[in-house]
Chain A
Amino acid sequence: MEGAGGGGSGGGSGVSYQRFPRVRIREMKDEYMKFELRDTDASMANALRRVMLSEVPTIAIDLVEIEVNSSVLNDEFIAHRLGLIPLCSERAMEMRFSRDCDACDGDGECPYCSIEFQLNVRCDSDQTLDVTSADLHCHDHRFLPVDVAQRALAAEAAGGYDAPEQRGIIIVKLRRGQELRLRAIARKGIGKDHAKWSPGATVTFMYEPEIHINEELMETLTHNEKLSWIESSPTKVFDLDPKTDQVIVADPEAYTYDEEVIKKAEAIGKPGLVEIYAREDSFIFTVESTGAIPAYQMVMNAIEVLKQKLDAVRLSDDIQDNDDQFGDLTRNIQGAAL
């Protein structure tokens, strides 16, 4: 896989900042992804993380017109809950922002920037009725609420069987005689404006740790000392080889930089038993998506957005006015780019 287009063409008068980052995907599911990002620095990694959190566009309900609401929750409450329901947003990249859309006047009747949902539920039984995301109806099936779409897929696979205990994200509960009728418009947006548009549930990275065990010193420890030293780490980083009675690094990435093992080593009078560094050019990303877009798509979109942003900066130096506006900043970027 190709890395992000950071850096630019390099060469020129200044030092080259050009790098060739590598990405290795460790694990990839629809809503979860773990990958390594190597040969770049924190600024790149962080930029990617920030963009994933706040600038990858998704679709979320933004405008709610309530016709009837005799439920226990008030209108704003329900509107807020509706907004936070993740909707399938694979098409979000192609869609227009409502503010940029010139095909409509923002009333939601526009195929380019908005999707209309209907919700019409009334409870007529004595049992409490849960109004869930499954009750949100939309003519376009590409924009279903995430959990509904997933279950539809699962049901297809299982042969039309729908687990009754999973009835979607609860919006409100109705009792006899209560009714909720509304029209909701979903729009494209980014997490910066409101967290409901953020596709990432968890987007985080860590520096890859480099663990060097001083084998010589380690051998001076007794079996019990080794065990207690291993135990001192809150996470399972080290293990004891049962055959050779040697301490081995079981899972370096479990290390949380807590330095407990180093403190422990000092406590038993063996400083330097282990040396742990953070590799400053290597990051392990964990990305979890809300389901709005698959984790993989989220990363790709983030790279795309990041590229666009960089392009915007690069393009801006064509216009002379920007020189006065950005001054040093533009010149620095130019210096690096040229």
Chain B
Amino acid sequence: MDPQRSDRFQEDCLGNGAKVTLKSLAAPVKSQVDKFQLLPAFLKVRGLVKQHIDSFNYFVNSDIKKIMKANDLIVCPYEPSLYLRYTNVYIDEPSVEVDFVKEKLTPHQCRLSDRTYSAPIKVDVEYTMGNQVSKTLVQKKDVVIGRMPIMLRSSCCVLNGKDEAELARLGECPLDPGGYFIVKGTEKVILIQEQLSKNRIIIDADSKGRVTASVTSSTHETKSKTVFFMEKEKIYLQLNQFNKPIPVMVVMKAMGMESDQEIVQMVGRDPRYSSLLLPSLQECAGARIYTQKQALDFLEAKIRILVKSKLVNFDRAKSILFDVFLAHVPITKDNFRPKCIYTAVMLRRMMDAILNADTFDDRDYVGNKRLELSGQLVSLLFEDLFKSTNYAAVESMNKVYNKTSRSSPLDFLRFIRNDLITNGLEKAISTGNWDLKRFKMHRKGVSQVLSRLSYIASLGHMTRISPQFEKTRKVSGPRALQPSQWGMLCPCDTPEGEACGLTKNLALMTHVTTDEEEGPLISLCYSLGVEDLALLSGEELHASNSFLVIFNGLILGKHRLPQHFANAMRKLRRSGKIGEFVSIFVNEKQRCVYVASDGGRVCRPLVIADKGVSRVKEHHMKELQDGVRTFDDFLHEGLIEYLDVNEENNALIALYEGDAEPETTHIEIEPFTILGVCAGLIPYPHHNQSPRNTYQCAMGKQAMGNIAYNQWKRMDTLLYLLVYPQRPLLTTKSIELVGFDKLGAGQNATVAVMSYSGYDIEDAIVMNKSSLDRGFGRCICSVSRILDADGIAAPGEIIRNHDLFVNKHSPKIIRDQTKPGDLRATDYKPTPVTYKGPEGETTVVDRVVLTTDVNNKLCIKFLVRHTRRPEVGDKFSSRHGQKGVCGTIVQQEDFPFSERGICPDLIMNPHGYPSRMTIGKMIELLGGKAGVSNGKFHYGSAFGEPSGHADRVEAISETLVKHGFSYSGKDFIYSGITGYPLQAYIFMGPIYYQKLKHMVLDKMHARARGPRVTLTRQPTEGRSRDGGLRLGEMERDCLIAYGASMLIYERLMLSSDPYQVQVCRTCGLLGYYNHKLKTAVCSTCKNGDSISTLKLPYACKLLFQELQSMNVVPRLKLTEA
């Protein structure tokens, strides 16, 4: 920071009170560089939802080509010369074809007309055309094989690279981040899926306490899980294809590793390893298995019958070892050596864990996790659908080929259906069900409707990570906060209740990697001195002076100078020769160097430091501010780099430049970036008790405000808007970065912390009626209704319950499809659509949209709006997890006032503070008060005091005093009722209050009489059905205990389902009353001699009859009462 700026900064902090003294001038120029500007620059290139967009771009631009290349040939099985080959695939711009005219699609059109925002997938093909005799090779371009739903703001999207004015023309909000799909008019997010790393060895203890080493292999062809475990000191292999655990030595022998000595060498010559291996070796020898043949025979017997294979006996075991066992290790022909070595390394790590419990892997460690993003998920789906399209083409070819009479030439192109891919993708994204038979994947809820309750809600939705475990598991491990989450996942933002700690959110600067080309990196490793695995003997493998080099879970070989190798790789990365997201991690404990370039790793940018000196200097930041330098320049020049969780272990990261020591390798950009989007809204979160921040993260998503700039053009099913939303007086840097200052969700209320009237107990707040009159907390609720046909209510019309929306007439006969002109007026019956809203609420028709749906049918959409002012029972909350309902509304003249004439908007009870310990809220009040006094926004960014992104209380107090307030924020207040001064000074000032979506009007419910369920004749349940209020079991118990029998009788029978029955005293069964004869008859006894009339709950009578229908005879024994 240059001296001038630092002075200004100081002035800002101290409220212009600081004077330039000799001392301050003589002080050394601070070397701290304000790196904050990097953040907006980062968000410009990476964006808040950039991980989604990157992932989808990767799929659309490269992955889809790879998938096509892997399945590029379809051949007719009867005649191999009849084929089709895909030569290219690409995705066109989003458009629809209407009457053979290509029409461009915009996202907003799709939202309004319930269409899917998708683009045609086009391929170039060459195929043979002709019949069995003569064939010609034809090439064709731009063949549509299906439609791909397009992620908004991805490289295929029309919004890509558009500026604000262009976006506005397209009806799009410039602040909307994109990253979601529009399927059938609804916005769908594909949630980030958390998973355990694929292709990595995980050493863990299972539920029985056995040490296990497991690998989930995943390649394009297969997925498998290989588990080694130790039981009774012997090591076994568990594989789904084998019905019993296999002794590990048998597996080794089956792979051609017949010499026990070599096995032991491969694992390591340390006698401790040998002694642990001994029981396994003995077992193998005990079973008299010495050769590969014997081992394979042994395995053959253990194969699960389910595996149907055409191969002969001997080959089956081998093929399992070849294809399934450690499927991700590529091997050629019969050379099983790489798999042997891999097995040996797994065993070695297992035994390490047995010898030293510290070396167990932690499943919850973020470095062992991968995040699956929308691109990968769509790619899985597309691959499957593409294959089935091709398969279907082959099938229909077979059918046609076998037909004797054919008129048209045989060509594959005709058999490629384009609806399979279109429908498959659309269905999966709109339902959220990912069903892939090939991978046995049946996931539900992968995609969700994007929450549009508030701007923050939708942003928060895009950064959400859905858990890998089912929520019911009662384990604490995966729910706990992991130290490795630092900077990657938000420590605050997680829901309460069952998904607590499982559902997470990304932090502000997190990036999720996409796959990177492996080939060049592998050859680079070899040229940097990695000794190839194939050239090493078992003995050499674990030589004491070398480290194994593992690339994406594959053992490449070993390196004698691991640190040197890592440094060289990193240097290449910093100079941009290899991808910036490649991670190099030297694991001293495991004596391995891990190089990773796979997708789904979380990483974040950090400033590189040389011997504790930051590489980012003041002039760099100045260049950034002047716009001559971008974030990518920082990256390419090696000033900043991305570190993933594993590589962070090799770094020493200083929080601030001033804290750097000579060993420091990296410096954080800004500490508040460890928080996510939702937690970023909280001012001074580091002064709050931590659960309060978590509560606010959940509540910020329910706050009403502005949704987007295009909010009035949208037709959401439910829309809550605030009439006068404000920007918080006490902001944070995150707020400005995410744009919450432009689309706020709350209002700055002057709050007095005091007790008033008793209607403020239990967190209730007292509100000033005049404030409400002037528009505080006023909101607009819109509900959209969809109708399909005509006499339509006009916009601006006031509409009440039971009023007509659409005076529709529909034809009486639907079956016989006649022309509309043929029907006369009498053929129609009126089918008016009436409005069903709460009684007494006057709503207004806001907008009427006439569109055609996909089938070209007329569709009328109504938006009905209602303006509400706050009322008693509406829910409000500050930004500190302090929610409360409005307890009472009081006239302004009864409200306390100060001699300056300040009168609070709401009163909050001081009991809200001691147990919640939300000091941040108090500082917000102080800062807000100082802010309104001197006319500037104060900052309260998390951990921001040292870097000047949060104003200190001392500075705020000084500002307050300068403007004639008490330094403590307390005011001398008079009672509005008596005019006497209050006994205590009152802590009063502005706090940003959010109005939450829970409002009494939507919830209040009471009924005296009303509808009943037909089956049981009991009152219906629930507010929507105008149901009764249930007197439940526990309430009943109370009444029984109290002895209020008549009350029970009245509640449980008279007010519910009384019914008069005729009971026969002789047989005890129910009879009936014959209204013609005016007598009661027992149908069992065939007479009416001894019939009594009594009252029963109808449900009871129903039970008796149901029992009778099941051949149980319930007999009533009556006594005289």
Interface residues of A (CB under 8 A from B): 42-43, 45-47, 49-50, 53-54, 66, 69, 72, 74-77, 80, 84, 191-192, 194-196, 198, 202-207, 234-235, 254, 256-258, 260, 278, 286, 288
Contacts and interface: CB of A to CB of B under 8 A. Distances in A.
B964 A256 contact: yes
Given A50-B893, A80-B778, A74 B846 contact: yes
A196 B977 CA distance: 21
A204 B844 contact: no
Nearest to A46: B979
B972 A258 contact: yes
A209 B178 CA distance: 62
17 contacts: A42-B978, A43-B978, A46-B976, A47-B979, A53-B892, A84-B775, A191-B770, A192-B891, A192-B893, A194-B773, A195-B774, A205-B974, A205-B979, A254-B964, A257-B981, A258-B972, A286-B901
Given A66-B796, A204-B900, A234-B960, A76 B844 contact: yes
Contacts of B985: 258
Interface residues of B, number: 39
Interface in B882-904: 891-893, 897-901
B828 interface: no
Nearest to A283: B979
A45 B979 contact: yes
B943 to A, nearest CB: 30
Contacts of B971: 256
Contacts of B981: 207, 257, 278
B587 to A, nearest CB: 60
Contacts of A84: 774-775
Contacts of B796: 66, 69, 75
A204 B901 contact: yes
B972 A77 contact: no
A77 B773 contact: no
B546 interface: no
A75 B867 CA distance: 10
B961 interface: yes
Interface string B740-781: 000000000000000000000000000001110111001010
A76 B867 contact: yes
A80 to B, nearest CB: 6
A77 B961 contact: no
Contacts of A194: 773
Nearest to B723: A77
A234 B778 contact: no
A145 to B, nearest CB: 17
B274 interface: no
B712 interface: yes
Nearest to B770: A195
Contacts of B899: 204-206, 256, 286
Contacts, number: 96
B1042 interface: no
B865 A74 contact: yes
B100 interface: no
A205 B972 CA distance: 12
Interface string B979-1005: 111000100000000000000000000
A207 B897 CA distance: 13
A238 B333 CA distance: 98
A74 B972 contact: no
B959 to A, nearest CB: 11
B978 A46 contact: yes
A235 B899 CA distance: 13
Contacts of A191: 770, 892-893
Given A84-B774, A191-B770, A202-B901, 20 more contacts: A43-B978, A46-B978, A49-B893, A54-B892, A72-B712, A75-B796, A75-B844, A76-B867, A77-B723, A80-B778, A84-B775, A195-B769, A195-B773, A196-B773, A204-B899, A234-B966, A234-B967, A256-B966, A258-B972, A286-B901
Nearest to B773: A195
Contacts of B967: 234
Contact of B979 (A49, A69, A77, A234): A49
B722 to A, nearest CB: 11
B893 A54 contact: yes
A58 B961 CA distance: 38
B965 interface: yes
A192 B780 CA distance: 25
Contacts of A207: 981
A316 B778 CA distance: 41
Contact of B844 (A74, A80, A196): A74
A282 B332 CA distance: 102
Nearest to A81: B775
B891 A54 contact: yes
Contacts of B974: 204-206
Interface string B937-979: 0000000000000000000000011001111000110101111
A288 B901 CA distance: 9
